[in-house]
């Protein structure tokens, strides 16, 4: 396959003016050879990647502590989540250092659709990120892609799901322009993904969402928020207007709101399901996916810990049961993120997941679940009966220390822990430990006896015969959940 003209980007200077970008054409490039050349130096996956979200440094550290291979985050500017808690450049530098010390990677979102007035600032920002040493920039706009290669030449470029990649022709074109990975549109089925993987170079990594919120618009391309509130979803400031409760107004009766009722709480016409594929990880990996992406940069550290731990456990089970690794992680057979093809079959091994794993997605905040669009016979839909989140479990506290001599667990409290109440302790790489809050022996940070742990953001301790690592999370049943 050859292309007669391929666009590349170089720097030029306008006379007596600021730096400008100049496009030049490279003729008669052999596509596959060019792609292989571009991917030299790109770190290849030796196992499927679990990619977790992070909205702040604490959540990023939690993600890596609970098994993430990589984390994606947004800076103060140019990402698709506009929030004050996004990362400043000094935060990103600390994040990269923390990740690299643990063998992890950091990807930064630069996936807004910039106006002409934002181009220069965005390119300068990407250059700064490259100097910091982030591992990849996630982009949507082709101009941003080409500029990223110029201003951050040692940084991988990943194509955002906002680009709406749905076929191998688009994926190959983006690879030829310098992308090392494409994040697929959420609307693809597993069969679509197999076909795309079959016709793309092995060096091109394929990433797909496996868990979290889904947008009612195609690949997140939505103008409802901007129309109703003036907040631009394509600049990361979505107000989620699609999840509001709506009424009908008859044109000759302005101000006369007619409820559209399915329940006594109204109806929620655009309230799309959340995605949950924890029991289908083997199917997704066998379709050719390189990286399993968890949605949720605005979610809590507990949410990220629980879902990262769950999907990492599922990947580990896949690797062991399919014969790629033994139970301590030694490689038995090289893993290749390739699909099952008739001309190159790989034995299909049914993967059995631990029973507790299927329950984990229901122990974080969520909406009604579906498996997205991966299985056409059971596609994602909307929940018109309910708005808001289902929240049946809450974070009770985070373990700060364990005194083995005293057999005492210390925690930073988040919610009430009452004697006799069931709690679960979540820590990396294993099933949650289920136990009751002790009826006796609860103490505050001064060692004084207390009847119950009922003050958030304080240190307490309790008797515990099981040694629990620092950073483990304690959860309990919520008294209420938001049903809309």
| Cα-Cα-Cα-Cα dihedral sign, residues 211, 217, 220, 222 | negative
* pTM of the complete model: 0.83
Report CA torsion sign: 336, 342, 345, 349.
positive
- In order, the DSSP letters of 12-31 are EE-TTS-EEEEEEEEEEEEH
Q: What is the 3-state secondary structure (H, E, C) of 334-400?
A: CCCCCCCECCECCCCCCCCCCHHHHHHHHHCCECCEECCCCCCCCCCCECCCCCCCECCEEEEEEEE
> Torsion over CA of 234, 240, 242 and 245, rounded to 10 degrees?
-160
Q: Is 311 left (phi over 0), alpha (psi -120 to 50) or beta?
A: alpha
Q: What is the pLDDT along the chain (484 residues), one digit of tens a residue?
A: 333 333 333 333 344 443 333 333 333 334 444 444 555 555 556 789 999 999 999 999 999 999 999 999 999 877 545 554 679 999 999 999 999 999 999 999 998 889 999 999 999 999 999 999 999 999 999 999 999 999 999 999 999 998 999 999 999 999 999 999 999 999 899 999 999 999 999 889 999 999 998 665 555 556 666 656 666 655 556 666 666 666 667 677 777 765 665 555 555 556 678 899 999 999 999 999 999 999 988 899 999 999 999 999 999 999 999 989 999 889 888 886 555 555 666 667 789 999 999 999 999 988 888 898 899 887 665 555 555 778 999 999 999 999 999 999 999 999 999 999 999 999 898 999 999 999 999 999 999 999 999 999 999 999 999 999 999 999 999 865 444 4
- Given a contact cutoff of 8 angstroms between Cβ atoms, the answer to whether 421 and 441 are in contact is no
Question: Contact at 8 Å (CB) between 158 and 126?
Answer: no
C-beta atoms surrounding 255 within 10 Å: 5
Under 8 Å between Cβ of 386 and 368: yes
Q: In angstroms, rounded to a whole number, what is the distance separating the alpha carbons of residues 281 and 210?
A: 8
Nearest 10 degrees: Cα torsion 120, 122, 128, 129: -160
Cα separations in angstroms, 190 against 58, 318, 377, 381: 34, 17, 12, 17
State the residue for tokens 């008294």.
479
CB 289 within 8 A of CB 337: yes
Contacts within 8 Å (CB) and 24+ apart, 237-240: 237/82
Rg (CA), the chain: 24
Contact 85, 120 (CB under 8 A): no
* Residue 246 pLDDT: 65
pLDDT reported for residue 283: 93
User: According to the model, what pLDDT value does residue 12 have?
Assistant: 39
Give the separation between CA 374 and CA 142, rounded to whole angstroms.
27
Helix (H, G, I), strand (E, B) or coil at 169: helix
Tell me the two tokens of residue 457: 């953001």
Provide the 3-class DSSP secondary structure of residue 206.
strand
Q: Which of 257, 459, 252, 482 is nearest to 387 (CA)?
A: 482
Element (H, E) at 137: strand 136-139
- Structure confidence at residue 333 (pLDDT): 84
What letter would DSSP give residue 419? Answer: T
Phi-psi region of 279 (alpha: psi -120 to 50; beta: other; left: phi over 0): alpha
User: Position of tokens 């030796």?
Assistant: 46
């Amino acid at each position: 396959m050859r292309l007669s003209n391929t666009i590349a980007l170089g720097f030029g200077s306008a006379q007596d003016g600021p730096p400008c970008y100049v496009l030049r054409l490279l003729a008669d490039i052999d596509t596959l050879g060019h792609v292989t050349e571009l991917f030299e130096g790109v770190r290849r996956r030796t196992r499927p990647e679990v990619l977790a979200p992070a909205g702040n440094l604490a959540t990023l550290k939690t993600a890596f502590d609970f098994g993430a291979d990589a984390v994606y985050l947004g800076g103060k500017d140019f990402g698709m989540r506009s929030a004050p808690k996004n990362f400043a450049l000094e935060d990103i530098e600390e994040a990269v250092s923390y990740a690299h010390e643990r063998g992890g990677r950091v990807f930064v979102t630069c996936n807004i659709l910039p106006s002409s007035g934002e181009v220069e600032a965005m390119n300068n920002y990407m250059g700064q990120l490259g100097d910091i040493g982030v591992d990849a920039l996630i982009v949507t706009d082709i101009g941003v892609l080409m500029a990223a290669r110029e201003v951050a030449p040692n940084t991988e470029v990943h194509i955002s799901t906002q680009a709406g990649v749905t076929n191998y022709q688009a994926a190959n074109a983006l690879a030829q322009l310098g992308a090392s990975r494409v994040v697929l549109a959420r609307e693809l089925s597993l069969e679509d993904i197999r076909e795309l993987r079959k016709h793309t170079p092995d060096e091109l990594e394929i990433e797909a969402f496996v868990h979290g919120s889904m947008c009612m618009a195609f690949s997140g391309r939505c103008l409802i928020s901007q129309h109703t509130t003036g907040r631009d979803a394509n600049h990361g400031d979505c107000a989620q207007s699609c999840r509001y409760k709506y009424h009908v107004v008859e044109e000759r009766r302005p101000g006369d709101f007619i409820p559209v009722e399915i329940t006594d709480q109204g109806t929620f016409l655009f309230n799309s399901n959340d995605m949950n594929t924890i029991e289908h990880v083997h199917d997704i990996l066998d379709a050719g996916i390189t990286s399993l992406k968890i949605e949720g940069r605005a979610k809590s550290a507990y949410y990220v810990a629980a879902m990262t731990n769950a999907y990492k456990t599922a990947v580990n089970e896949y690797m062991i049961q399919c014969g790629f690794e033994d139970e301590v992680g030694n490689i038995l057979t090289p893993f290749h993120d390739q699909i099952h093809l008739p001309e190159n079959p790989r034995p299909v091994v049914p993967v059995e997941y631990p029973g507790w794993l299927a329950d984990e997605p229901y122990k974080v905040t969520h909406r009604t679940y579906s498996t997205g669009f991966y299985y056409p016979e059971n596609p994602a839909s909307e929940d018109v009966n309910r708005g808001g989140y289902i929240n049946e479990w809450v974070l009770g506290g985070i373990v700060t220390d364990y005194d083995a001599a005293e057999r005492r667990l210390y925690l930073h409290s988040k919610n009430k822990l009452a004697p006799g109440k069931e709690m679960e302790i979540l820590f990396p790489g294993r099933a949650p430990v289920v136990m009751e809050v002790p009826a006796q022996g609860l103490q505050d940070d001064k060692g004084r006896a207390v009847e119950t742990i009922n003050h958030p953001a304080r240190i307490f301790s309790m008797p515990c015969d099981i040694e629990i690592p620092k950073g483990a999370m304690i959860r309990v049943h919520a008294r209420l959940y938001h049903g809309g």
